[in-house]
A and B are shown apart, each in its own frame.
Chain A
Amino acid sequence: MEKVIEMRGITKIFPGIIANDNVNFELRKGEIHVLLGENGAGKTTLMNILYGLYQPDKGEIYVNGKKVDIKGPSDAIALGIGMVHQHFMLVHNFTVAENIILGSEPKVGLKIDYKKAVNDVKELADKYGFKVDPNSIIEDITVGQQQKVEILKALYRGAEILILDEPTAVLTPQEIEELGQILKNLVKEGKSIILITHKLKEVMNMSDRVTIIRRGKIIDTVNTKDVDMDTLAEMMVGRKVNLVVQKDPPKVGDVVLKIENLEALDHRKLPKLKGVNLEVRAGEILGIAGVDGNGQTELVEVITGLRKATGGKVILNGQDITNKTPKEIIEAGISNIPEDRHKHGLVLKFSLIENAVLGQHDKEPFSKGILMNYNKIREYAKKLIDDFDVRTPSEEVHAGALSGGNQQKFIAAREITKDPYLLIATQPTRGLDVGAIEYIHKRLVEERDKGKAVLLVSLELDEVMALSDRIAVMYDGKIVGILDADKTNEMELGILMAGGTLKKEGEHDKQ
């Protein structure tokens, strides 16, 4: 079959790490080819090289059989390569049409021909059945629509080869299905697609072939129909992986956290939480599922005292903690593994010793009066590192020097060791490799088994489903449904996440 892309012997070295080590990769015309690997395996680096964002230190690239030198994105675009980045490259206050034409604007005289731009975009969107209005401002449309704008951007430039970097990370299950259909239509038109992902289910559903990359090296390229998920997982991680979280039925106790009609504003002073009601009980993991931006972040911020509630109550063990300071809330017994470990979890330029006692640095035995007791703090840091198997040369190093997985383990160690009543974990495994994910999951389940209440917030539906005992779906600032994890499925949750309602049993016939 015809090869549209061939990358030979690509090597890319970043300070301290070989991101791509003598990598060979090929894409055939009209196929969907998944590039599978863990976070940090070098998938995105390889594709950024193909798109001209990085220059390889070694290696050659052939497009349609011809050797090419891709110096920048404009070279890649000229060769018919388009890329949809994981973090969308959209200007938030531009219209859809402006974002699409940027860099190759239609002109009348010196001016941009906005009329033609809008018409062209509309035509292109209609051709592929995308429902996007060329005149909408990016920040007003959904993430799913933004992704379509990104795809249109590539198609507008005449892309024949489309690279999508983790395209499903921000989508609901239904949107993922729709994306799958879109990709199939594109392939029918003769386009070729490279899909970067670390999710095995998508590989199985969407691809023709898979190339597995691990620590910068290609492990193998296989036909999707010849493999199964377990094999792929093993190739990706390099050892047998337990894809299922092991847990016993929960021993549920009293209500620990009770949230009543909670309301709050977002950073633009618009209502974001619109009456949240929720209970988390001792000995259970309550997972909050939902598409990004439906109020999950704000909910956690209000509970932990980082954002003011404008209405409603947060009650911990019967004690009203609404709008208390974070310090008071920590002292009341809430621990938090925050969403952004770099911004809110650690002070990256502090040593692990100092990071170990953040939030309790003013308590005995870590300090006495106005003086810190660094001997005690150092001991404590060592204990955290030992207990949670944090891989670090010593407790003296800056937190920023650790890998993401070890940073997260360290935060988990600090927060769990505080022995809270309620443990909140937001996106606890984002960007971690499979080993670290397994470990964090295990520890969360352990805490639940010890009788703690655990509130899990995650955008990864698989994670919510694997860990939770009950699942609350959040949509548009409200909890729209609470389901038992063992009695629901992805379809049901997906409908709720998209703002739909579940029909009662038996109502299907009436339709």
Chain B
Amino acid sequence: MHSITISLFVSLIAATLRLSTPIIFAALGGVISERSGVVNIGLEGIMIAGAFFAVLGSYLTQNAWVGILFAILAGMGIALIHAVLSINLRADQTISGVSINIFSAALMSFLLFKIFAREGQTDGVTQLSYPKEFFKSIPFIGNLLAELNWFVFIAFILAILLHLMLYYTPLGLRIRSVGEHPKAADTLGINVYKIRYLCVLLSGAFAGLGGASLSLGATNLFREGMVSGKGFIALAAMIFGNWKPFGALAASLLFGFAEAFRIVAQGFGWKVPDEVYYSFPYVLTMLMLAGFVGKTTPPAADGIPYTKGER
């Protein structure tokens, strides 16, 4: 193979992994929330908060890891609103999620203006340091690894951990039972509300991380509109992935690939208009919708508030 082809191939894979990462985080967040029976359409808004607070944390302490911690806490903070609204107050979960998206985007713009005294985007902050040179020295896959960032690894590890948790631990069994048949879980002494709170908060942490991976992983600043629908793509990935961690991971990679292909393919020099490349992710989405969605099944109690002691 020509070296140019190889390097194109490597950068395509690397771009796929990098672009998938935010989607993977948020899709896993969606999986854990919906597996417990709470629809979390607010992933988009939580990602925005995560992206902003990651930069803020790094800005205040010059430490990107603190930024990540900020992102997780901010994500959980916003998710807590959704949890209270949809678990305790039994609000319509779609409406709660949509309002969180609107609220979060607006709040971050406001904070951006208040704290950084700028509009549109923040200053550049300390990024997560990544030992590019070290990875480059690894034979065979070094060139690929050097193109990534820590978030990519964290996303894959989280997918594996979530899979193990859901399918091999008592907590996972309980979470799935609460999402399928909360009353059955309740009659066995499982606290449905507690499990749902835990899962929604975790989903906030995941989506917050996803936001951080955008602002601290791909760049070193927060820009308004940088999430641009990735939370919704993550929801789609969760559905394509049939509400399973590995399924969501694979679907996210497919979306990431579509994006990466759009960018990389423009370098191929094929004689087609740019619009064709731009349409690629959407065409892929439609194909996946047509091909796979019919076969997926959401958790039976997804989106239905649980009322203890209802007659």
Residues of A bordering B, CB below 8 Å: 14, 51, 53-55, 72-75, 77, 83, 85, 89-94, 98-99, 101-105, 107, 110-112, 153
**A227-B169 Cα distance, complex, nearest whole Å:** 53
- B71-79, B103-111, B146-154, B175-183 - interface stretch: B175-183
Q: Are B188 and A94 in contact (CB under 8 A)?
A: no
**A105-B190 Cα distance, complex, nearest whole Å:** 12
Q: Are A94 and B180 in contact (CB under 8 A)?
A: yes
B178 nearest in chain A by CB position:
A91
Residues in A whose Cβ lies below 8 Å from that of B174: 102-103
A48 nearest in chain B by CB position:
B309
**A300-B259 Cα distance, complex, nearest whole Å:** 51
Q: Are B169 and A112 in contact (CB under 8 A)?
A: yes
Q: Indicate whether B187 reaches chain A with its CB closer than 8 angstroms.
A: yes
How many of chain B's residues touch chain A, expressed as a range? 20 to 34
Q: Indicate whether B300 reaches chain A with its CB closer than 8 angstroms.
A: yes
Q: How far is the CB of A222 from chain B (nearest CB, A)?
A: 29
Q: Are B181 and A91 in contact (CB under 8 A)?
A: yes
Known: A77-B189, A98-B173, A110-B168. 12 other contacts (CB 8 A): A14-B311, A53-B186, A54-B309, A85-B187, A89-B181, A102-B185, A103-B185, A104-B188, A110-B169, A112-B169, A112-B170, A153-B188
Residues in B whose Cβ lies below 8 Å from that of A55: 309
Q: Are B309 and A91 in contact (CB under 8 A)?
A: no
Q: Which of A51, A54, A94, A102 has the most CB of B within 10 A?
A: A102
Residues in A whose Cβ lies below 8 Å from that of B169: 110-112
**A103-B186 Cα distance, complex, nearest whole Å:** 9
Q: Indicate whether B141 reaches chain A with its CB closer than 8 angstroms.
A: no
Residues in A whose Cβ lies below 8 Å from that of B180: 91-94
Q: Indicate whether B95 reaches chain A with its CB closer than 8 angstroms.
A: no
Q: Indicate whether B265 reaches chain A with its CB closer than 8 angstroms.
A: no
Q: Are A73 and B188 in contact (CB under 8 A)?
A: yes
Q: Are A91 and B184 in contact (CB under 8 A)?
A: yes
Q: List 13 A-B contacts (CB under 8 A).
A: A14-B311, A51-B187, A54-B309, A55-B309, A77-B189, A85-B187, A91-B177, A99-B184, A101-B173, A102-B173, A102-B177, A102-B185, A102-B188
User: Given the known A-B contacts A91-B181, A92-B180, are A105 and B173 also in contact in the complex, defined by CB atoms under 8 Å?
Assistant: yes
Which of A98, A99, A102 is the one whose CB lies under 8 Å from B190? A102
Which of A14, A77, A92, A93 is the one whose CB lies under 8 Å from B188? A77
Report the 5 A-B pairs with minimum CB-CB distance, sorted nearest first. A74-B189, A103-B188, A89-B184, A105-B170, A73-B189
Q: Are A83 and B300 in contact (CB under 8 A)?
A: no
Q: How far is the CB of B3 from chain A (nearest CB, A)?
A: 46
Q: Which of B174, B186, B300 has the most CB of A within 10 A?
A: B186
Interface majority SS on B: helix, strand, loop or mixed? helix
Q: How far is the CB of B173 from chain A (nearest CB, A)?
A: 6
Residues in B whose Cβ lies below 8 Å from that of A92: 180-181, 300
**A208-B295 Cα distance, complex, nearest whole Å:** 51
Q: Are A53 and B187 in contact (CB under 8 A)?
A: yes
The residues in B between 165 and 215 inclusive whose CB is less than 8 angstroms from any CB of A are 168-170, 173-174, 176-177, 180-181, 183-190
**A94-B174 Cα distance, complex, nearest whole Å:** 11
User: Given the known A-B contacts A91-B184, A94-B180, A105-B173, are A111 and B189 also in contact in the complex, defined by CB atoms under 8 Å?
Assistant: no
Residues in B whose Cβ lies below 8 Å from that of A111: 168-169
User: Given the known A-B contacts A91-B177, A92-B180, are A112 and B187 also in contact in the complex, defined by CB atoms under 8 Å?
Assistant: no
**A55-B190 Cα distance, complex, nearest whole Å:** 17
Q: How far is the CB of A355 from chain B (nearest CB, A)?
A: 23
Q: How far is the CB of A425 from chain B (nearest CB, A)?
A: 27
Q: Are A73 and B177 in contact (CB under 8 A)?
A: no
**A97-B281 Cα distance, complex, nearest whole Å:** 43
Residues in A whose Cβ lies below 8 Å from that of B189: 72-75, 77, 103
Q: Are A112 and B181 in contact (CB under 8 A)?
A: no
- Chain B, residues 218-255, CB within 8 Å of chain A (1/0): the string is 00000000000000000000000000000000000000
Residues in B whose Cβ lies below 8 Å from that of A75: 189
A100 nearest in chain B by CB position:
B188
B300 nearest in chain A by CB position:
A92
User: Given the known A-B contacts A92-B181, A102-B177, A111-B169, are A73 and B187 also in contact in the complex, defined by CB atoms under 8 Å?
Assistant: yes
**A94-B172 Cα distance, complex, nearest whole Å:** 12
A75 nearest in chain B by CB position:
B189
Q: How far is the CB of B16 from chain A (nearest CB, A)?
A: 32
Q: Which of B173, B180, B185, B311 has the most CB of A within 10 A?
A: B173
**A55-B308 Cα distance, complex, nearest whole Å:** 11
Residues in A whose Cβ lies below 8 Å from that of B181: 89-92
A55 nearest in chain B by CB position:
B309
Residues in B whose Cβ lies below 8 Å from that of A101: 173
Q: How far is the CB of A440 from chain B (nearest CB, A)?
A: 24
Residues in B whose Cβ lies below 8 Å from that of A77: 188-189
Residues in A whose Cβ lies below 8 Å from that of B173: 94, 98, 101-102, 105, 112
Q: How far is the CB of A223 from chain B (nearest CB, A)?
A: 32
**A112-B169 Cα distance, complex, nearest whole Å:** 5
User: Given the known A-B contacts A53-B309, A103-B174, are A89 and B168 also in contact in the complex, defined by CB atoms under 8 Å?
Assistant: no
**A290-B311 Cα distance, complex, nearest whole Å:** 29
Q: How far is the CB of B174 from chain A (nearest CB, A)?
A: 7
B301 nearest in chain A by CB position:
A91
Q: How far is the CB of A19 from chain B (nearest CB, A)?
A: 9
B179 nearest in chain A by CB position:
A91
Q: How far is the CB of A219 from chain B (nearest CB, A)?
A: 23
**A92-B177 Cα distance, complex, nearest whole Å:** 10
**A14-B189 Cα distance, complex, nearest whole Å:** 23
**A98-B309 Cα distance, complex, nearest whole Å:** 24
The residues in B between 262 and 297 inclusive whose CB is less than 8 angstroms from any CB of A are none
Q: How far is the CB of A434 from chain B (nearest CB, A)?
A: 21
**A511-B168 Cα distance, complex, nearest whole Å:** 51
**A75-B176 Cα distance, complex, nearest whole Å:** 23
